[in-house]
Amino acid sequence: MHKQTTNHLLMVRPEDFAIGSPTHLDNHFQSIAPPEKQRDIAAAAIKEFDAYVETLRSAGLKITVMEDQKGISTPDSVFPNNWFSTHEDGLYVTYPMYWPQRRVERRDDVLEILDKDHLINRTLALEHWESEGRFLEGTGSLVLDRQNRIAYACFSERATKEAIGDWCDAMDYKPLTFNAFDQRGGVIYHTNVMLAIGNEVALVCLDAVTDPGEKTKLTESLFLTGKRIIGLSQDQVDNFGGNALEVQTPDGPAWVMSSTAYNALDPAQREALGAPIIHAPLPVIEKYGGGSARCMISEIFLPKK
């Protein structure tokens, strides 16, 4: 049985957060950082990041923190799950990024750090797809049911049909694709803002899927794989209620999300998750990065040496 959750997470401490990022053009959750406030915003993001890491470590999770690259502008580097993923068979995958400015976030030293203590049996580099106009931004674009080998993905400029299909062929996953829109009618840029899948539960905004056939297909897939569906509203998606991740702590399963997301869920939804909720305030990163707690985490599934 494949593992759905892990206790080891990798995160990147941002140096120049939101300074000059163009990604607000297709990320409707992201606000533009005013030039005169960018340095203050970047400093506030570092404080949020550090406090979040401490919250996760206090829960018993293993957190590998990478410092940002020096001398390179990477305003979105706090979201490393978009450019690499790891898998329990020892596979390390790098991904094709839609925005050219984000492609420099890919870095060899992450592989080198992981290789010290983990078995990396092979690597799969997909960044050459960028020259072909095929994009797929890691576990932002793909929400993986690792147990049942299903890759859920909503189409966007950052997740193209051909890339999703080819990834699934290479990885022996079944694609479950659909179109998803926020309450303003904009395309949802990453699947993981409206869908989260754990061992027994799925947080999902079915209202974001406007095509009846696609909605039925998504609902049936979750039901048939034994997931208890917790429905999210569009307002909850705007507050990052879907940007959550189940993890494995020393005390058992837990869910990670931001305090914004936690407060957006009602008590019945929190109870339905069936596990403790670890949350931290991330208002600056959410506002000016357009991503939240789950986006900031790369899961490490590699076997230990």
Reported as a single tens digit per residue, the pLDDT across 15-29 is: 989 877 788 778 778
Name residue 33's amino acid.
A
Rounded Cα distance, 210 and 4, in Å: 28
Collapsed DSSP state (helix, strand, coil) of residue 231: strand
Q: Are 26 and 78 in contact (CB under 8 A)?
A: no
Query: Could you tell me the pLDDT band of residue 103, with boundaries at 50, 70 and 90?
Result: very high
Counting Cα atoms < 13 Å in the Cβ hemisphere of 185 gives: 0
For the cut 90, the answer to whether the pLDDT of residue 167 exceeds it is yes
For the cut 80, the answer to whether the pLDDT of residue 170 exceeds it is yes
For the cut 80, the answer to whether the pLDDT of residue 220 exceeds it is yes
Residue 253 tokens read as: 């399963």
| pLDDT at site 28 | 77
Average pLDDT, the chain: 96
For the stretch 108-117, what's the b/e string if a residue is b when 16 or more beta carbons lie within 10 angstroms of its beta carbon? Answer: eebeeebeee
For the cut 90, the answer to whether the pLDDT of residue 165 exceeds it is yes
What's the rounded mean pLDDT across residues 19-47? Answer: 84
Total number of residues shown for the chain:
305
Query: Could you tell me the pLDDT band of residue 198, with boundaries at 50, 70 and 90?
Result: very high
Nearest C-alpha neighbor of 74 from the set 12, 16, 137: 16
Percent of the chain with pLDDT over 90: 91
| pLDDT at site 24 | 78
The beta strands (E) that lie in the chain are given as 8-13, 62-67, 84-87, 91-94, 122-125, 143-145, 150-154, 174-178, 195-197, 201-204, 228-231, 245-249, 252-258, 277-280, 298-299
Nearest C-alpha neighbor of 85 from the set 163, 146, 15: 146
Query: Could you tell me the pLDDT band of residue 280, with boundaries at 50, 70 and 90?
Result: very high
Collapsed DSSP state (helix, strand, coil) of residue 162: helix
Nearest C-alpha neighbor of 295 from the set 20, 2, 23, 19: 23
| pLDDT at site 75 | 92
Domains belonging to the chain, first-starting first, are 8-299 (3.75.10.10)
User: Which residue has tokens 């069936």?
Assistant: 274
pLDDT in tens, 45-62: 999 999 999 999 999 999
Cross-sheet strand order for the sheet of 201-204: 195-197, 201-204, 228-231
* Least confident among 16-20, 60-64, 99-103, 150-154: 16-20
| pLDDT at site 32 | 81
Percent of the chain with pLDDT over 70: 100
